[in-house]
Structure 1
């Protein structure tokens, strides 16, 4: 019966969630979510305290800690990483990083039953973070790897181009720069959706049960932009 805590500060939203998993019943998830631009440092740890108190769980009872490791706001990612690593170190528990883009996809699937999703976040400087996913029965399969790219270079996975796609995340505010075939393939766009810890904690629980928890020092934010810059410099 694992108990996990997840926190996220990768966007304008700030959130925390606790999951208690019991065999044979639905996961119990307690969460907090607020749109708090520039107030993540002030709100994140109080949210953690609130979900622990509501669940009646002491920090020492946690089996693992997770956080939204990006891509997203560099400052927000560092805030969440620092808080999550501090908790994991202090409790001597494994840490798991969860993709912001994957969490966006899972959230849209769980709430609206969408199956084919392109999650995209505004990366500034005329670029987006993007990935494509297929979702089914609460599971998320990656169809196009996470990347940072100009919106005009976005493509739908060729093998699935004939499906009804849904766009999720702030990257879709750059709609006018998207290629015409991508626009034609989208049945709906939800640019105001934000990643949330309540979806991240579900992904983290699956990863934890698969043995993917790591020592806190080994789990780092995923910026994507730095990886692309490194690849170009080779």
Structure 2
């Protein structure tokens, strides 16, 4: 697909902890990119999230608690299917990488090591996108879950590495970190990321099967 602007939305599932005695530590860490090839597609996906929240999540009268966002682990499969049904047929794709944490070298299990690992995986995933020579800009929105120093480190790393793979030095690359409840596209990315995580952790592909045809790239990194 010919495009001048790319809109990327990055979310993750699982954790980067390595204390296997700690409850909740997961063997897998998954990063998912929702890639939109034009601004109109971004608007349509945003609309699908808004419709789902309005018509399926917060539709009951006198509901005391209003949900501000869609979360993969909080809504049932029929609601996820409703969301998918309202997505545009074209103009977007899913890229995902699953890290098998059981094979990670010890030096990457420190705080600094985990930050390097996260940055590398994010860059690796972005590098799998077919970037046309005519591309004018890339906008990357990441779920804001880091401290300011880690955000700056991540941004600097990604800018330096992404410019190495861009076909034109004139391409603008912008990175922002936003709270998911304020960004509908991050919520969409979360739904897809949760589906891949659920498939890996619980062998439950019920939601994944719904959207799998939109998966452009998927890989397990450092598998057993």
TM-score normalised per structure 2: 0.33
TM-score normalised per structure 1: 0.32
Higher relative contact order (CA 8 A, sep 6+): 2
